[in-house]
Amino acid sequence: MKITLKVWRQKNINTAGKLVEYQLDNVSEDMSFLEMFDVLNDSLTRKGEEPVAFDHDCREGICGTCSMYINGRPHGPQTGATTCQLHMRSFNDGDTIVVEPWRARSFPVIKDLMVDRLAFDRIIQSGGYVSVNTGSARDANEILIPRTIADEAMDAAACIGCGACVAACKNASAMLFVAAKVSQLAILPQGQAEHKERAERMVAQMDAEGFGACSFTGACSVECPKSISLDHIARLNREYLGAKLTSDNING
Amino acid sequence: MAWVTQTLSSSLGRKVIMSLTGLFLCSFLIIHMAGNLQLFKGDGGRAFNEYTYFMTHNPLIMTISYVLYTSILVHALMAFILTRHNQASRPIKYAYSKPEANSAWASRNMGILGTVLLLFIIIHMRTFWYEMHFGSVPMAEYDGKEYKDLYAVVQVAFGELWYVILYVICMVAIGYHLWHGFQSGFQTLGLRHKKYTPIIEFLGKYFFAIIIPAAFAAMPIYVYLQVHHII
C-alpha cells in the first residue's frame, strides 16, 4: 500500500519543529506502525538524511515506551492498544497519516517524536511506593484480600505510564495516571498505611509539574492502551480530599 | 491554616470549588423553576407577584440569595483561573486532533457554554432582578395589599421576539452545560458508586439537562404567545 506521512521533525528541545511530508510506496499491511517507521528510517538513512527519532522498546504493548499521536489520537485509531500494537491494516491505501509527539508543557519534545516523560517518574518518586518491606510472596498470601479488590488493584496496576492520558486530555491532565498509581496501592492492605501522605504528595507533585486539571471528558480512559477506568480518578479525588481533611499534615 | 489555602489552590481543590458552587447552583435552578411555574397559572400574574414578594422579603431566602450571587461569581472566576491554567498546560497545540473520537462535545466546551451562561445571567438580572430592586415597577393590589407587579415586567420583556429567541438559545446552552456538569460535579467530590452513579447520571442528563431547561424555555414562549393573543 501507498502511504503519505506527515511527521513532526524537531532537531532538539530548543528549536522549533515542523511537519515534514514523506511518501512510502511499498508498505505491507502486515507491518506494525513502528515497522513502517523502521522502513522510513532505513530509506532516510540510505539517502543520507537524519532518521526520525521515536521512542520504542518492547514492541508488545507492555512497556509504555512508544508514544505517537497518530491522526489526531494517541496510539492511533484503535482502542486498548499501544502504537507498537497498531498495524498498517488499520489504514487504507493512499491514506495520509499525521504523526505528532505528545503535546504537554510537562512533556517537552526532546527530538522529533520523542518526549521527556520524567515528570511521571518524579510523581512516582513523590509517593507511588510502599516504603516498608511487605515481605515475600508467602507473606502476601497470608493477607486475605477479596478477589474483586485484588482485581481492581490489578486493573489500576496495568498502567504502563505511556502518557496517552495526558496526550489525549484537552487540559494535558495527568489525573488518570496519578489515579491509577494511587489506586493500585490505596486499596490493598500493604498500601493503606501511607495512603494519606501518598495522595497528598503525588497530587502536589502532579501540580508542580504543570499538568492541567481534570474536566472529566473521559478522553484519557478511552485512549488508554490499558483502558483504565475513570473510577480510579473518583477514588483519587476521594483519597486526596479525605487526606487533606484528616491527615496530621497542617503545613499543606 | 496553610493546609486550607494549599488545598484550595491545588488543581483538585479548585475543581472542588467548581463542583460545590455548581451543584449549589443546580439546586437553585429547581427552586427557581418551581417558583416561576406560577407564570403558567393564567391568573393575571397574582400568584407570580405574591411569589416574588415572598422571595424578596423572606429573611432566609434573602440570606441564601447572597450565597447564590457569591457562588455565581466564584464559579465563573474559578473557571477562568482553571481555563488559563489548563491552556498553559499545552502551549503547543496539535496540528491535527480528533477529540470527537474520545469525548463528548459538551464536556470539552464547558468554558464556552459557561461564558454564554454568564452573559445570560447578566442580561437576565438586568431585566428582572435590577428592575425589581432598583427600577420603577408598576404596583398591583390584591386584597388591599400592594405588590410590585413584576409580572408586567415579564410581559414586556417576553413580548419581544428577539428576547424570547435569546432565552431559548441560552436554555439550550444550560442544557449542554448541565449534561456534563451535574454528574461531573459528583465525580470531583469522589462520589462514584456502582449503585448511585447511574442515578446521578440519569438525573443530570434527563432532569437537569432536558426537563429544567425545557421548562424555563417554555416560559418566554408561553408569555410571548399570550401577550400577542396567539393562545
Q: Tens digits of per-residue pLDDT, A109-126?
A: 999 999 999 999 999 999
pLDDT for A141:
85
Whether residue A86 is found in the same domain as residue A127: no
Whether residue A87 is found in the same domain as residue A37: yes
Nearest CA in chain A to B91: A105
Mean pLDDT for B125-138 is 92
**What is the pLDDT confidence band of residue A140, given thresholds at 50, 70 and 90?**
confident
- Inter-chain touch A215–B110, beta carbons under 8 Å: yes
Residues 6+ apart with CB under 8 A from B207: none
d(CA A108, CA A15): 11
Nearest CA in chain A to B96: A72
From B75's Cα to the closest Cα of chain A, the distance in A is 14
Nearest CA in chain A to B87: A171
Nearest to A217 among B11, B16, B103 (CB): B103
**What is the pLDDT confidence band of residue A146, given thresholds at 50, 70 and 90?**
very high
Mean pLDDT for B136-141 is 91
Nearest CA in chain A to B78: A213
**What is the pLDDT confidence band of residue A152, given thresholds at 50, 70 and 90?**
very high
Cα distances from B175 to residues A41, B78, B117, in angstroms, run 50, 21, 11
Tens of pLDDT, residues A46-64: 999 999 999 999 999 999 9
Give the end of a domain, one of A111, A128, A155: A111
Nearest CA in chain A to B186: A234
CA-atom Rg of chain B in angstroms: 20
Q: Kindly report the backbone phi and psi dihedral angles of residue A167, in degrees, each rounded to the nearest multiple of 5, phi listed first.
A: -65, -35
Contacts within 8 Å (CB) and 24+ apart, B17-20: B17/B74, B17/B75, B17/B78, B18/B75, B18/B78, B18/B79, B18/B82, B18/B185, B18/B188, B19/B184, B19/B185, B19/B186, B19/B188, B19/B189, B20/B185, B20/B189
Range of the structural domain that residue A84 is part of: 3-111
To test the contact with chain B by mutation, choose from A187, A237, A245, A247 the residue with the greatest count of B C-beta atoms within 10 A, namely: A237
For residue A252, the chain B residues in CB contact (below 8 A) are 2-3, 5-7
Give the end of a domain, one of A81, A111, A141: A111
* A89 part of a folded domain: yes
For residue B104, the chain A residues in CB contact (below 8 A) are 217-218
Please state whether A174 falls in left (phi above 0), alpha (psi between -120 and 50) or beta.
Answer: alpha
Tens of pLDDT, residues A202-243: 999 999 999 999 999 999 999 999 999 999 999 999 999 999
Please give the span between the terminal C-alpha atoms of chain A, in angstroms, as a whole number.
58
Residue linked to cell 540510505:
A46
Size of interface A-B (CB pairs under 8 A): 146
To test the contact with chain A by mutation, choose from B18, B98, B103 the residue with the greatest count of A C-beta atoms within 10 A, namely: B103
* A251 part of a folded domain: no
Nearest to B187 among A69, A233, A251 (CB): A233
Whether residue A68 is found in the same domain as residue A184: no
Is the ipTM of this structure higher than 0.85? yes
From A133's Cα to the closest Cα of chain B, the distance in A is 30
Whether residue A125 is found in the same domain as residue A223: yes
Give the end of a domain, one of A111, A144, A169: A111
Tens of pLDDT, residues B168-191: 999 999 999 999 999 999 999 999
* A141 part of a folded domain: yes
Whether residue A82 is found in the same domain as residue A151: no
* B196 part of a folded domain: yes
Q: Percent of chain B at pLDDT above 90?
A: 95
Whether residue A127 is found in the same domain as residue A237: yes
* B131 part of a folded domain: yes
Cα distances from B146 to residues B52, B53, B120, in angstroms, run 12, 10, 31
Nearest CA in chain B to A204: B10
Whether residue A90 is found in the same domain as residue A131: no
Q: Is A45 exposed, middle or buried (0-12, 13-18, 19+ CB in 10 A)?
A: exposed
Range of the structural domain that residue B54 is part of: 11-88+110-227
Pairing of strands A96-100, A3-9: parallel
CATH code of the domain in which B162 resides = 1.20.1300.10
* B104 part of a folded domain: no
Whether residue A67 is found in the same domain as residue A101: yes
Nearest to A231 among B6, B82, B192 (CB): B192
Nearest to B190 among A98, A206, A235 (CB): A235
Domain count, chain B: 1
pLDDT for A91:
97
pLDDT for A133:
86
From B96's Cα to the closest Cα of chain A, the distance in A is 5
Tens of pLDDT, residues B83-126: 999 999 999 999 999 999 999 999 999 999 999 999 999 999 99
Q: Which pTM value belongs to this model?
A: 0.94
- Inter-chain touch A105–B90, beta carbons under 8 Å: yes
* A195 part of a folded domain: yes
Say yes or no to pLDDT of A100 above 80.
yes
Mean pLDDT for B191-215 is 96
- Inter-chain touch A170–B98, beta carbons under 8 Å: no
Residue A245, number of CB atoms within 10 A of its CB: 10
* B105 part of a folded domain: no
Nearest to A213 among B2, B7, B11 (CB): B11
For residue B19, the chain A residues in CB contact (below 8 A) are none
- Inter-chain touch B188–A71, beta carbons under 8 Å: no
- Inter-chain touch B90–A172, beta carbons under 8 Å: yes
**What is the pLDDT confidence band of residue A134, given thresholds at 50, 70 and 90?**
confident
* B195 part of a folded domain: yes
CATH code of the domain in which A225 resides = 1.10.1060.10
Domain count, chain A: 2
Nearest to B96 among A72, A211, A217 (CB): A72
SS3 A12: coil
CATH code of the domain in which A84 resides = 3.10.20.30
For residue B95, the chain A residues in CB contact (below 8 A) are 6, 8, 19, 98, 100
pLDDT for B231:
82
pLDDT for A251:
80
pLDDT for A137:
85
Please give the span between the terminal C-alpha atoms of chain B, in angstroms, as a whole number.
61
- Inter-chain touch B103–A203, beta carbons under 8 Å: no
Specify the length of chain A in residues. 252
d(CA B133, CA A21): 64
What is the average pLDDT score of chain B?
95
- Inter-chain touch B188–A238, beta carbons under 8 Å: no
pLDDT for B1:
79
* A43 part of a folded domain: yes
Nearest to B89 among A168, A172, A249 (CB): A172
Say yes or no to pLDDT of A252 above 80.
no
